[in-house]
């Protein structure tokens, strides 16, 4: 204990680390609830169901259940659990109020698959009423074929029914372009920072839908972008952008830069 105190004195982040390291998914989710990141019962249920250990590569349990990003290969990371909780909370109201009988969701930069699977669990209707209250479909894309494979393999571990029931579909794709053939989407999440707002992607939102995206090259912030009106040509007037919080994400690359 004395050692912990001394470390905390010299390395203030150490106490944060001490506080946010847990041994089970349940304890990690409890932390997210206590810290005020997770507020809705729907997000809580989803996070309880999707075990971060299955999406944290070779990292041990102590790391997997710590509220911190972790390297997953290809120079990329699995985001910190509090960012997953935040993103789910940001999208939830728009999914709930969607008029669509089945909601349509796109997760850009699926990485090792955690958020894609969590969104899948939110709309999974294979065992009765979905947690969201209505069914839906989730598309996950990533620019790295290795990470698309990793997402599939990770989902297979304990969430494989989402793939076999076609609630979740994963493919190689460029987030700047999105998936125009599969839209419009009620919610689009982007897990990498764009240097400018991606208008092609914004045009794939349903009216009333939301894009949750980190934007900025050096000084980054998480934004939510709502689509207010329909038009075949992009216009700034059809969207409302709101800055949510300062963040640090890997860049949303152009595939020809790889």
**Position 216 contacts ligand SAH (CB under 6 A):** no
Nearest approach, Cβ of 181 to ligand SAH (angstroms)? 16
Handedness of CA 140, 143, 145, 149 (dihedral sign): negative
Q: Distance between CA 210 and CA 85 in Å, rounded?
A: 16
Contact between 185 and 104 (Cβ < 8 Å): yes
Instruction: Spell out the residues 6+ positions from residue 218 whose beta carbon is closer than 8 angstroms to its own.
Output: none
Active site residue 35: no
Name the H helices within 98-226.
Answer: 114-123, 145-159, 161-164, 199-202
Q: Distance between CA 198 and CA 184 in Å, rounded?
A: 15
**Position 85 contacts ligand SAH (CB under 6 A):** no
**Position 176 contacts ligand SAH (CB under 6 A):** yes
Q: Which stretch binds ligand SAH (CB under 6 A): 8-16, 77-85, 200-208, 216-224?
A: 77-85
Nearest approach, Cβ of 194 to ligand SAH (angstroms)? 9
**Position 144 contacts ligand SAH (CB under 6 A):** yes
Q: Distance between CA 127 and CA 221 in Å, rounded?
A: 37
**Position 38 contacts ligand SAH (CB under 6 A):** no
Choosing from 79, 98, 126, 231, which is the catalytic residue? 79
Which residues here bind ligand SAH, judged by CB under 6 A?
76-79, 108-112, 114-115, 141-144, 147, 174-176, 191-192, 250, 252-253
């Amino acid at each position: 204990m004395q050692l912990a105190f001394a470390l905390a004195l010299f390395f203030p982040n150490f106490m944060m680390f001490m506080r946010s390291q847990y041994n089970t998914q349940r304890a990690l989710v409890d932390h997210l609830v206590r810290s005020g990141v997770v507020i809705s019962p729907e997000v809580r249920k989803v996070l309880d169901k999707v075990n971060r250990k299955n999406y944290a590569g070779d990292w041990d349990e102590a790391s997997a259940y710590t509220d911190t990003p972790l390297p997953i290969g290809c120079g990329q990371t699995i985001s910190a659990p509090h960012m997953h909780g935040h993103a789910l909370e940001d999208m939830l109201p728009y999914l709930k109020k969607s008029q669509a009988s089945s909601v349509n969701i796109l997760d850009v930069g699926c990485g090792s698959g955690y958020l894609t699977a969590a969104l899948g669990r939110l709309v999974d209707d294979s065992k009765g009423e979905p947690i969201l209250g209505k069914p839906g479909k989730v598309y996950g894309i990533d620019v790295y074929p290795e990470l698309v494979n990793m997402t599939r393999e990770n989902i297979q571990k304990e969430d494989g029914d989402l793939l076999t029931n076609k609630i979740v579909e994963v493919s190689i794709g460029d987030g700047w372009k999105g998936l125009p053939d599969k839209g419009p989407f009620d919610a689009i999440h982007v897990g990498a920072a764009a240097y400018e707002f991606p208008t092609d992607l914004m045009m794939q939102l349903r009216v009333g839908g939301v894009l949750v995206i980190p934007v900025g090259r050096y000084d980054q912030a998480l934004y939510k972008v709502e689509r207010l009106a329909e038009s075949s040509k992009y216009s700034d007037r059809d969207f409302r952008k709101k800055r949510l919080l300062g963040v640090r994400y890997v860049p949303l690359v152009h595939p020809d830069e790889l």
